[in-house]
Homo-oligomer: A and B are copies of this chain.
């Protein structure tokens, strides 16, 4: 076992934390018949509807293909509607979609926040937020740079 660098250790903890957190969210959302990805898609649609698939894909950072399939499932289950105008499809929540989102939203956000609030005080959260912003912005720039020379 080689000795890992500090950044590698941070990376490992972060990946595992995100995995655990997603797992917990999935367990929690199961009672509403939703997955984390679906919950996030519904929440994003509610905030931006009507929205095109391309914009939704960007907002959720998934590929066009991925969003197409997920929306097909959500449509099949009657949670969203896709209205085609011209060449783009505009996505909106159905009654059922809004209903399940409103039932799931509060407890999901609470469950999610608790993971942070239970162990980090306000100051620590501010610090973490600032650090994550730096990392996130940098990773975005790297992704953009990778796009360029392809």
Residues of A within 8 A of B (CB): 1-2, 5-11, 13-21, 23-24, 27, 47, 61, 109, 112-113, 115-120, 122, 124-129, 131-140, 142-143, 146
Q: Are B112 and A138 in contact (CB under 8 A)?
A: no
User: Which of A18, A117, A124, A137 has the most CB atoms of chain B within a 10 A radius of its CB?
Assistant: A18
Q: In the complex this chain forms, how many copies of it are found? A: 2
Q: Are B132 and A118 in contact (CB under 8 A)?
A: no
A127-B119 contact in complex given A47-B1, A61-B19, C-beta closer than 8 Å: no
23 contacts between A and B (CB under 8 A): A5-B109, A6-B116, A6-B122, A7-B115, A7-B116, A8-B109, A9-B129, A10-B125, A11-B112, A11-B115, A11-B116, A13-B135, A14-B14, A15-B18, A16-B139, A17-B139, A20-B139, A20-B143, A23-B143, A118-B138, A119-B134, A119-B138, A128-B131
Q: Are A128 and B8 in contact (CB under 8 A)?
A: no
In the assembled complex, which residues on chain B have CB atoms less than 8 Å from the CB atom of A47?
1-2
Identify the 10 closest CB pairs spanning chains A and B, nearest first: A7-B116, A20-B139, A13-B132, A7-B113, A13-B136, A17-B136, A119-B138, A119-B134, A1-B47, A128-B131
Interchain CA distance A116-B137 in the complex, whole Å: 11
**Other A-B pairs, 11, CB within 8 Å; known A6-B125, A7-B125, A119-B134:** A1-B47, A6-B126, A14-B17, A17-B136, A20-B136, A20-B139, A23-B143, A115-B135, A115-B138, A124-B131, A127-B131
